Structure 1
């Protein structure tokens, strides 16, 4: 039976998402999308596949393929839940066509820009930058890192979907965290506490800090670290584990191979002597 109000339904859907173990950030995005979908028509039963397609790619604004793919995923998941629980008679989202995403070449921060950024930087900002470049951590992983997540030269990182991985640190990163720990009020708390709160810094604030100091999107540091790690080891699987990717294909798209590497491939096809 359809709940009395969309808010009751969304509350039930939020409970479902939490029960699946979805990450808080994923839950917020799914609920944001689900809320928008409930506003497409007076009743969910009146929503059509065409309505969802128009929401995925509205005529009055441009969305990237990645955004449309995310919206499609949210719509399909929401309507699957609605249909399975008897809130709608038909799953109209199941007829949404896949969104074709052409991966853009990864942007990597040059080493010269990294050295320049590290030349005049605070202890806190140095640690954040090196966690992005040397440990290849995501913004949320950096912002939510605790001192108790460190054991010697190893970091216990909680990634997407709550997956845990171990990342070993470069000596420069170890020294940066050593210096930061000396400045923390709580030796067993967050490496990057939020201002005026008992929680950690918001990932958006971390994004602003890294971009302000380096001039680059923080993800460019993660791409650069992954590329450097692969060039040094040629071990794609090890790089995948460091990045916390579920798919090896995702790791492959992260790598920025330069002309020298491509020329080496051309040379390597020669017949054996």
Structure 2
């Protein structure tokens, strides 16, 4: 049951988001990406290193990352240079690259994991024939970021989706490329994606001498 705004108890109610960080999760910076890789290698977390590298390269949403099949990214005993996945949310295919660090960590994981082309890349810990849950993926991301001293509240699975696109935009200022890579249908989503409206405005303002 709810409270009336005139009830005495209403003054004691706390907003659900009080003390929480809400809004878009931060993208990782290049040095943070390598710090997480070093932390995962140091703790011999082979699956997590493959998952992290794949998530960064694919720029997929968490719900798509966990449902990728081995056959989606592997052919002829090698990891594909490029792969295509149909996104669950938009039902549209998106193409992405898999660069050398990710190919190496995925191959190492497959050597340990085994499986066929019809198996999930990242199986569930409860049912090996099922895929990892997005909740488990989220918990892993929180472990990784806190492992290198970052605030867990500021990062999530979407941070990994945003990371490479954000780095590419800062290097090239090419919004169209950033729109294509994560499979955005509307440029409005892309403008918000790498923090263009905030960071670019501040940089322009800082260079303006009046």
TM-score when normalising by structure 1: 0.54
Distance in 1, Cα, partners of 2:205 & 2:60 = 29
SS at match of 1:140: helix
Distance in 2, Cα, partners of 1:110 & 1:231 = 11
* Offset, 1:243: 0.9
SS at match of 1:201: coil
SS at match of 2:125: coil
2:136: which partner in 1? 205
Deviation per residue, 1:4-57 (Å, 9 max, x gap): xxxxxxxxxxxxxxxxxxxxxxxxxxxxxxxxxxxxxxxxxxxxxxxxxxxxxx
Structure 2 gap ranges (5+): 1-9, 75-79, 147-154
Structure 1 gap ranges (5+): 1-58, 65-102, 269-273
SS at match of 1:167: strand
1:30: which partner in 2? none
User: Which one of the candidate residues 166, 187, 190 is aligned to 1:248?
Assistant: 187
Distance in 1, Cα, partners of 2:201 & 2:102 = 27
Distance in 2, Cα, partners of 1:148 & 1:61 = 49
Structure 2 residue 118 is the aligned partner of structure 1 residue 178? no
The root-mean-square deviation of aligned C-alpha atoms, in Å, is 3.1
CA contact (8 A) 1:236 1:251 kept: yes
Residue correspondences, number = 174
* Offset, 1:137: 1.8
- Relative contact order, higher structure (CA 8 A, sep 6+): 2
User: Which one of the candidate residues 177, 190, 194 is aligned to 2:124?
Assistant: 194
Which has the higher Rg, Structure 1 or Structure 2? Answer: 1
* Offset, 1:233: 3.4
* Offset, 1:221: 2.5
Distance in 2, Cα, partners of 1:235 & 1:113 = 23
Deviation per residue, 1:91-141 (Å, 9 max, x gap): xxxxxxxxxxxx956522233332222113212101211223232221111
User: Which one of the candidate residues 78, 82, 88 is aligned to 1:154?
Assistant: 82
1:163: which partner in 2? 92
CA contact (8 A) 2:83 2:95 kept: yes
Q: Which has the higher helix share?
A: 1
